[in-house]
Structure 1
Amino acid sequence: MPSAAPASHASPSQLPSPPTITLNAREEQLKNLLLEAAKYMDNRDLNQAGDGHSTQPRRDPLVLRWAGGWVRDKLLGITSHDIDTAINSMTGEAFVDGLRDYCDDPANKAKHGLHDDDIGRLHTVPRNPDKSKHLATSTIKLCGLDVDFVNLRKETYADDSRNPEVEFGTAEEDALRRDATINALFYNLNTGKIEDFTGGVADLQAGLIRTPMEPLQTFLDDPLRVLRLVRFASRFGFRIDEAAESVMGDERVLENLKIKISRERIGVELEKMMKDANAVAALRFIDRLGLYHAVFTDPNRSNMPRPELHAWQAAYNCLDFLERNNTPGSIYALLVTSEEARYIAWTLATLTPFEQLPDDPPLRSGRPAPPLLTQAAREGFKAPNKLCSIITAAHTHRLAILKLKDLVKTQGNGVRERDRFGMAIREWDTRGGGGNWRLQVLYALLVDVAERVGGQAVVCGERPESQEMEDVLREWQAFLDHLIDLDVMDAPSIKRLVDGNMLTKALGVRPGRWMGAALDVALAWQLRNPGVTNPSGAIEEVIKKRDELGIN
């Protein structure tokens, strides 16, 4: 697959001054629809108040603003299909109810050129303070765009509570509560102008990530903002304000990150970072700012071991180097074959430091304890079960992968045994690997780089800066080239010549525990004899080993 490339957008320094936003046809259609619907709701509520039918206090006329990320992205020339609409005097749910009433009139639909599929179903996400979701948000598909509606608000945090008091606020109060100035911009639909209460436009032009309010208190109030700032800085290639950087790793902030923020929300931020084209920049921020142990941990385990991080940069810089030098037949091209695989690869790179630590003792049941890196993923950022299985398999099979790589390096006995390599690959792929043996090899490579090259290695450009790094990568390329030469890269998908029914018939016995091992014997024969389509030789191999397999 081609290397991921940053999204194309205008340089911040090229923003017009004063900045303006030009709407495309869909956005213009949506703007006119919302303004007309707001006018309809104002007149409706005013008439109800005049008739004495309304029990609600009279509200201010509606003013609508598109907020945050959409404004930022439009100024940077990035296409955005998600629009947050901030409302001054009505909740999002109430506004969407009025909008649907307005659109129920066929004349209004015709006026705005709306078809039935231009208006989607309303979905309201309820507030959930325990997960730092402090206000209900109503979402609806309109004019081909995903539009969220929520009222302007201000938030007041008490020292003894992780949940703020939330109430209606002004546009300026709403801007000040946001995580970064570049996310605190508004486009006023009523005036058609940008509103900047925090200096966000200047920060966009300067390529700067800065908090609207004093940084330490901002992070203590909502520590997730630390990770959000890292994400935006890495995504856009911006720098983080020095005042903010100086307190992002403050112990009080990191402790609040553990106790105030759900690990699911941390996982959402981390996933977005690892899926971004510039994932390595996010890891460099996490490393340099001292955030690692607050993210990659089990917060409920008081004795969770902490790995040393001095060699971590070698692993993530190596993956970045491989990705940027992705060519046909290269390590990256052979091991990372999809966008999902790319995300898993970067997630695995975050966990390489845990390989330096010993495994936990077996559980009381006698089963192995989950590897520390799996615990850090499962509890630290709530990695889903599939990802945790791949992480566990990468740890479990690492030494076996390394052993075969070294066999190729030394050209030792058995290096040309196709069945040895093919059966090993099938083992890695099926035993917890979820069909991801290639990513397990990549993980073993990254750990190998970290262990052998360590903190001295920074790779850049077309070549590694250190001879040690170049030597390690040459070994792994030779290993993969050898697998290609043996024609075992697709070993997991080889169709068996022999199945269980054939074996029971040929042996004259009933199925039993011996079946799995016998099928592997047949498949190993098949790997040693590529191109053979007659199963008789494989069956004969099983018969020869009948006693060894315990077939009675």
Structure 2
Amino acid sequence: MPSDSNKSLFYSRYQPYDRRKRTERGMNVTLTTEESELCNFLTLLTQYMKENCPELPLVELRIAGGWVRDKLLGYECNDLDIAINSMTGCEFGEHVYNFLRLKGYAAENIHKIESNPQKSKHLETATTKIFGREVDFVNLRSEEYVEDSRIPSKVTFGTPEQDAYRRDLTINALFYNIHTRQVEDPTKKGITDLKEGLIRTPLEPYETFKDDPLRVLRCIRFASRFDFSIDETILIAVKDEQIKKAISAKVSRERIGIEVDKMIKGPHPALSIKLIHELGIYYVIFAPPQDYHGTLDDPKTAACLAKILEWLLLTSNENHLHVNLSSRTPEDIRTLYLASFLAPHKNIEILSKKKNYTSFHHVVKESLKLKSLDGLLIRDIGTQWQNAFILALICELLPKYPDVESGILKEPYNIIDKYNELVDFIIELNLQNCFNDKPIINGVIIGEIQKSVIEWQLENPGGSKRQCEDSNVDKYKNEILTWYTGLNPDSLSGNSRKPEIPPGCRHEDKIQCEIYQTILNQCNGKRQLDQDDFMKIT
């Protein structure tokens, strides 16, 4: 099981959503004290504007999107987006600032977010803090798209209905009216889909995805986040080749990487990769390099490995996975899932003039645009031996996936026991942190010896390898004795005297024993190591 320090984080991440409780509780929004104070303040502000600024159009405020969805599901949400019907977020933000000062409250500056069509921000928005809580202001809007871009070509002020129908999912198209304190469902589908656990688009999915193909990934992410089913019409639309081409053509690799990373960090990453595989878009998302050598594996491999990993981590107390393997940090878990997601690329090499290398780094850096460090972690995961063990374990369990899925666990448990025994052996030998050990002889010393070898070769063109070794051992014997034993070389006088190894000096490695033998040969009459020497060395 996870260690105490990571336990709550681990379980909060993997806590399943209970649909039965959600349906029994009903779809109601219960405001916290802070949220109620905020809504009261905004209601007073709109009344003040109506009475004192008659030249302004009537202002209606609604909390939009994810906050409404999460509150209906019974979860708290800190992201507050206030949708305004008749002015921009920046314009309304100025009224908020002035009204806070008028009422004697602390007023923070309004942070204006300029319009930026290249980043899908066509209208100015604003953010500030009210009573210490961050709030974003944005106007209701209507959008139009062109053929070759997911960025709207035209954005105008819209009605609540127009704003709702432009959104990605029905469950994200809900509003909470601050004035009536009621949930509004303009699509007439959002509340029903929340109750039934269904992912559905407000408009026909093919046209929705043609306009903005990123919404395909958002469907997958929200389905896995809430463990919801995906509507059949979405499944059909995503499998269309035109939609797959639209994902590659219209969506930046940075945006794809952001969505994939959110899936991995979400509560059900194994479900995410399963859906990506079943929808036939694995190699659209995890695109291989153009020029490569080898064979790409079936994407089902990634889905099966992720499911086995999930099973190991969720049931570690039942399947007796060693505590040194099950106690993974959130970043470890992220790395393991990312590695399992990329498994179908394991036999692919990128051809280079200098050397061939695996495509993991390419997929992370180019196809997903994640941090380069992620690619290095996948490529060099052996430095994290527990993670490497878990990856090796899930790969060995892969042929037993049907047994894991059906609950026939005798053979999988035998494989797990084998890895547990190996971990116990590593701990018994105190090797769990050996990768942090520093070399006894550093690079500077080795460089000096190599330089001496070259000098000897130049001075003795016909000399043999053994003569070179003898010359340099004789030249450096005092330094070598100091490096390896910590002894004062002057204390080694006479052939009959052998050096004492100080307590705690470790010479486990066979090569070290051979070097020590050479030292004794040179310093003590070329005698062989006896049992006492080996006891002290090992």
The answer, yes or no, to whether TM exceeds 0.5 is yes
Name the counterpart of 1:179.
168
Task: Decide which of 318, 328, 336 is 1:337's aligned counterpart.
Answer: 328
Matched, 1:441 2:386: no
- Does the 8 Å CA contact 2:292/2:350 hold for their aligned counterparts? no
Name the counterpart of 1:84.
81
Structure 1 residues 508 and 174: CA distance shift in structure 2, 3 A: closer
Structure 1 residues 210 and 545: CA distance shift in structure 2, 3 A: farther
SS in structure 2 at match of 1:187: strand
> Offset at 1:381?
1.5
- TM-score by structure 2 length? 0.76
Structure 1 residues 492 and 180: CA distance shift in structure 2, 3 A: same
> Offset at 1:219?
1.0
> Offset at 1:472?
3.8
Structure 1 segment 263-278 matched on structure 2, within 5 A: 263-278=253-268
Out of 157-166 and 78-87, give the one that drifted further: 157-166
Matched, 1:285 2:272: no
Distance 1:327 1:532 in 2: 41
> Offset at 1:74?
0.6
Name the counterpart of 1:38.
46
Matched, 1:188 2:177: yes
Matched, 1:68 2:47: no
Name the counterpart of 2:493.
none
Name the counterpart of 2:374.
387
Task: Decide which of 9, 19, 22 is 1:12's aligned counterpart.
Answer: 22
- Does the 8 Å CA contact 2:286/2:367 hold for their aligned counterparts? yes
Distance 2:192 2:58 in 1: 31
Larger of the two Rg values belongs to structure: 2
- Does the 8 Å CA contact 2:364/2:370 hold for their aligned counterparts? yes
Task: Decide which of 522, 533, 551 is 2:504's aligned counterpart.
Answer: 533
- Does the 8 Å CA contact 2:325/2:390 hold for their aligned counterparts? no
- Does the 8 Å CA contact 1:92/1:151 hold for their aligned counterparts? yes
Structure 1 residues 460 and 148: CA distance shift in structure 2, 3 A: farther
- Does the 8 Å CA contact 1:209/1:240 hold for their aligned counterparts? yes
SS in structure 2 at match of 1:72: helix
Give the aligned residue type for 2:83: A
SS in structure 1 at match of 2:342: helix
> Offset at 1:15?
4.2
> Offset at 1:75?
0.8
- Cα deviation, 1:462-486, whole Å, max 9, x if unaligned, reads x5x3665444434333332322232
- Does the 8 Å CA contact 2:253/2:369 hold for their aligned counterparts? yes
> Offset at 1:134?
4.5
Distance 1:513 1:159 in 2: 70
Structure 1 segment 114-153 matched on structure 2, within 5 A: 116=106, 122-153=110-141
Task: Decide which of 339, 350, 375 is 1:360's aligned counterpart.
Answer: 350
Distance 1:262 1:500 in 2: 46
Task: Decide which of 375, 400, 404 is 1:459's aligned counterpart.
Answer: 404
Give the aligned residue type for 1:210: R
- Cα deviation, 1:240-280, whole Å, max 9, x if unaligned, reads 11111221222111111111111121122111111112221
Task: Decide which of 131, 156, 176 is 1:167's aligned counterpart.
Answer: 156
> Offset at 1:437?
3.5
> Offset at 1:214?
0.4
> Offset at 1:351?
0.7
Distance 2:272 2:323 in 1: 20
- Does the 8 Å CA contact 2:45/2:99 hold for their aligned counterparts? yes
- Does the 8 Å CA contact 1:393/1:440 hold for their aligned counterparts? no
Structure 1 residues 97 and 245: CA distance shift in structure 2, 3 A: same
Structure 1 residues 201 and 391: CA distance shift in structure 2, 3 A: same
SS in structure 2 at match of 1:234: helix
> Offset at 1:45?
4.3
Distance 1:392 1:257 in 2: 27
> Offset at 1:88?
0.6
SS in structure 1 at match of 2:316: coil
SS in structure 2 at match of 1:297: coil
Name the counterpart of 1:433.
none
SS in structure 1 at match of 2:134: strand
> Offset at 1:447?
3.4
SS in structure 1 at match of 2:72: helix
Distance 2:428 2:340 in 1: 28
Out of 203-212 and 32-41, give the one that drifted further: 32-41
Distance 1:297 1:325 in 2: 33
Give the aligned residue type for 1:351: L
Give the aligned residue type for 2:337: W
User: What is the identity percentage for the equivalent residue pairs of Structure 1 and Structure 2?
Assistant: 32
Out of 132-141 and 65-74, give the one that drifted further: 132-141
Name the counterpart of 1:23.
31
> Offset at 1:123?
3.8
Task: Decide which of 237, 241, 247 is 2:237's aligned counterpart.
Answer: 247
Structure 1 residues 467 and 513: CA distance shift in structure 2, 3 A: farther
- Cα deviation, 1:422-444, whole Å, max 9, x if unaligned, reads xxxxxx42xxxxxx343233333
Distance 1:96 1:498 in 2: 64
- Cα deviation, 1:499-541, whole Å, max 9, x if unaligned, reads 859x96xx99699899xxx9xx999999xxxx95358999986
Task: Decide which of 87, 91, 96 is 2:93's aligned counterpart.
Answer: 96
SS in structure 1 at match of 2:59: coil
- Does the 8 Å CA contact 1:341/1:439 hold for their aligned counterparts? yes
SS in structure 1 at match of 2:380: helix
Distance 2:121 2:204 in 1: 22
- Cα deviation, 1:335-371, whole Å, max 9, x if unaligned, reads 652111111211111011111x24122x23x1444x2
**What are the ranges of 5 or more consecutive residues in structure 1 without an aligned counterpart?**
50-58, 110-115, 395-427, 430-435, 548-552
SS in structure 2 at match of 1:382: coil
- Does the 8 Å CA contact 2:122/2:155 hold for their aligned counterparts? yes
> Offset at 1:302?
7.5
Task: Report the number of matched residues.
Answer: 463
- Cα deviation, 1:399-446, whole Å, max 9, x if unaligned, reads xxxxxxxxxxxxxxxxxxxxxxxxxxxxx42xxxxxx34323333333
Structure 1 residues 471 and 45: CA distance shift in structure 2, 3 A: same
SS in structure 2 at match of 1:27: helix
SS in structure 2 at match of 1:23: coil
> Offset at 1:545?
8.3
Structure 1 residues 359 and 12: CA distance shift in structure 2, 3 A: same
Structure 1 segment 220-239 matched on structure 2, within 5 A: 220-239=210-229
> Offset at 1:211?
0.6
Structure 1 residues 316 and 95: CA distance shift in structure 2, 3 A: same
Task: Decide which of 321, 342, 347 is 1:351's aligned counterpart.
Answer: 342
Give the aligned residue type for 2:386: R
Name the counterpart of 2:200.
210
Name the counterpart of 1:418.
none
- Does the 8 Å CA contact 2:125/2:138 hold for their aligned counterparts? yes
Distance 1:225 1:522 in 2: 66
> Offset at 1:498?
5.4
**What are the ranges of 5 or more consecutive residues in structure 2 without an aligned counterpart?**
454-475, 487-501, 520-538
SS in structure 1 at match of 2:428: helix
- Cα deviation, 1:67-116, whole Å, max 9, x if unaligned, reads 111111111110111111111111112222221122233x342xxxxxx4
